Amino acid sequence: MKSGWVDSEAQAAIDRYARDGISRDLALRVYTTRLLGRDPKLVLHGGGNTSLKTTMPDLLGEEVAVLCVKGSGSDMAAIEPAGLPAVRLDRLRKLRARADLSDEDLLRIQRASLLEPTAPNPSVEILLHAFLPHKFIDHTHANAILSIVDQPDGEAICAGLYDGRVSLVPYVMPGFGLAKTAADIYEAKPEVEGLILNKHGIFTFGASARESYERMIALVTLAEERLQKNRKAVFVTAQLPQAIASVNAVAPILRGACSRKDEKIEGAWRRMILEFRTSPAILNFVNGAELARYGQAGVVTPDHTIRTKNWPLVTIAPARDRMDDFKRAAQAAVTDFCERYQAYFARENARAGGIKRPLDPLPRVALVPGLGLFGLGRSKEDAKIAADLAQCAAEVITDAEAIGRFESISQAEMFDMEYWPLEQAKLGSAAEKPLAGEIAVITGGGGTIGRATAKAFAAAGAEVALLDCDERAAADAAKAIGAAALAVKCDVTDGACVRDAFARVVAAFGGVDIVVSNAGAAWQGRIGEVDEDVLRQSFELNFYGHQRVAQAAVKIMLAQGTGGCLLFNVSKQAVNPGPNFGPYGLPKAATLFLVRQYAVDYGADGIRANAVNADRIRSGLLTDAFIAERSKARGVSEKDYLSGNLLGREVTADDVAQAFLHQALELKTTGDVTTVDGGNIAAALR
Ligand SMILES: [Zn+2]
């Protein structure tokens, strides 16, 4: 591992922050924190932290000694000075004299000691930084260090490797106890460059930002070199089926197995989003004959447990021609997983005084021999974090097994970490949105109504995929929604294209729960004279397009076994034909019956089918030029033309989007048509 320190970049950081009145020390603290944060072999997702001891004026302008320490759970790679809140150092140091300190008291004392009252909560490892004397302190969960300390004889290996350059701290849960233990051990030998925390990670320190950072790099490099020596070949591969199923066949089954019925609301499910990873290193790990031992032995560092749980789900290898076996085995494996988790909770909670409330028992990581690993979460973001940590764990455990035998902390220690309120606080306490964990596909996603609908579903917590034959329009719309939104080029008049698009959605999120089949276009012609080709073209898009999309979605929904929701953009033309609009209205009328057919055929599977009949929406179908032309032809203003309905209100794409959203949330409604047209008695359904 090489130092990332570059003199000119360090100076640039000093100069840049000086313009905001930030001191040289704090600028360099930010610079090296970012250097650590950008290397996933050192820190991942809010793990690790850094600090600086300096003086600063408080709100009254009086200079005070402070500890600037990373905010809890924040990302080191993108940290700014405000991400290192300043806390009055003398107050923190006084706490060392106490025999014990509750979490509540620590939280209150540290908040009351912040120089800036609105600053983020400091790292849970704040006291360890406060009790050590050094100006700069760096802490990481470096992979190479973990591979060495996650061993039955980890401390002995370190003692030999570091030859007095570091002191070793036995495993103690992070917090007040660890801070006191680490400070005592440091003081017994104050010439060391750092502390190695058994089963947890490493601290280095120094008089300058560079010294502390480069000690980290040097000590981690020694561990990396040690891991290259006397390696055993790992792992011996298990017997696997000849042909392994694809991720597209496996993901919906796994996702269904990891979903749970909502006990309070009939028809509702608590679902997960999946993130798939594979590589030669991951396959080597999940294909090992002893996966059940080393893969289930526990977390590589205690901080991972809130994201990955203490052990992953392990399935059988999915043979391509025996997916029914895989489904049964996956469901049984999830049931066993949940029972094991509940037993762990009951046992450890009794030990802890019975005061904790259980978290959901579902896995956050799944290992699938022959295929790879999945991260699971209630959002794509959470699933990615779980996958990153699982990938890191696979690497750490592989190296640990190559030089010895991987060993984690005990289940009691894992429980104390998993149920520590200060760790749970990292996950935030915001209420979940109504569509959290659900995956929505919107066709015609690049158009006005598609965009508005995708935006409404994303705002309600769903992960969204926008399909459109105009790839650029879909990409623009997805970009406006956020990083997790997926854009896929898809022409719904082409069956292979539809199948490929759904395969991409499954690969990205793990399945499909809601489809808004919205792609359409208008053809006109007097029905007695219109060319048959025009009619056929319109049927291809306005009827068969919906059927292809619905069929592709139903296949995935049945594999998941957790119901689903098919929503169709029909049209008032389906019930109230306009003159010369036969080529548009006829396939839409067929689509209205398609909705009812899906409602009839798949109600028993929990799959609902509903439609929205909208009219006169400013969109790709009803362009500004068309509106100007039609209103002129009728001798009314554009506004009067658009609001020519019973309520006298213009109907917008957002109104249509809200109707689709409402239908997605109405768990007891299927075969329904909702009109969004401001009121048109001639188009009313009866
Ligand atoms: Zn740590």
At 393-450, the pLDDT tens digits run: 999 999 999 999 999 999 999 999 999 888 787 777 778 999 999 999 999 999 999 9
Sorted by sequence, the CB contacts under 8 Å of residue 409 that are 6+ apart come out as 171, 199, 298, 299, 302, 417
Spatial separation of the C-alpha atoms in residues 344 and 352, rounded to whole Å:
12
pLDDT in tens, 330-357: 999 999 999 999 999 999 999 999 999 9
CA–centroid distance, residue 54 to ligand 1 (Å) = 23
pTM for the full predicted model: 0.94
CA–centroid distance, residue 340 to ligand 1 (Å) = 27
CA–centroid distance, residue 40 to ligand 1 (Å) = 15
User: What is the amino acid identity at position 129?
Assistant: H
Spatial separation of the C-alpha atoms in residues 550 and 37, rounded to whole Å:
44
CA–centroid distance, residue 660 to ligand 1 (Å) = 45
CA–centroid distance, residue 341 to ligand 1 (Å) = 24
Surface-to-core class of residue 143, CB atoms within 10 Å of its CB (0-12 exposed, 13-18 middle, 19+ buried)? buried
Sorted by sequence, the CB contacts under 8 Å of residue 507 that are 6+ apart come out as 247, 248, 251, 276
Q: Which of 213, 225, 87 is nearest to 147 (CA)?
A: 225
CA–centroid distance, residue 302 to ligand 1 (Å) = 8
> What is the maximum span of the chain, computed from C-alpha positions, in angstroms?
98
317 dihedral zone (left: phi>0; alpha: psi -120 to 50; beta): beta
How are beta strands 365-368 and 313-314 bridged, if at all? parallel
CA–centroid distance, residue 201 to ligand 1 (Å) = 6
Say whether the peptide bond before residue 415 is cis (omega within 30 degrees of 0): no
Band (pLDDT 50/70/90 cuts) for residue 515 is very high
CA–centroid distance, residue 168 to ligand 1 (Å) = 14
CA–centroid distance, residue 48 to ligand 1 (Å) = 5
Calculate Rg over the CA atoms of the chain: 30
Q: State mean pLDDT over 515-530.
A: 95
Q: Output the average pLDDT for the chain.
A: 95
488 dihedral zone (left: phi>0; alpha: psi -120 to 50; beta): beta
CA–centroid distance, residue 139 to ligand 1 (Å) = 7
CA–centroid distance, residue 69 to ligand 1 (Å) = 13
CA–centroid distance, residue 618 to ligand 1 (Å) = 55
Q: Quick check: helix, strand or coil at residue 66?
A: strand
pLDDT in tens, 485-502: 999 999 999 999 999 999
Q: Given this model, what pLDDT does residue 635 score?
A: 87
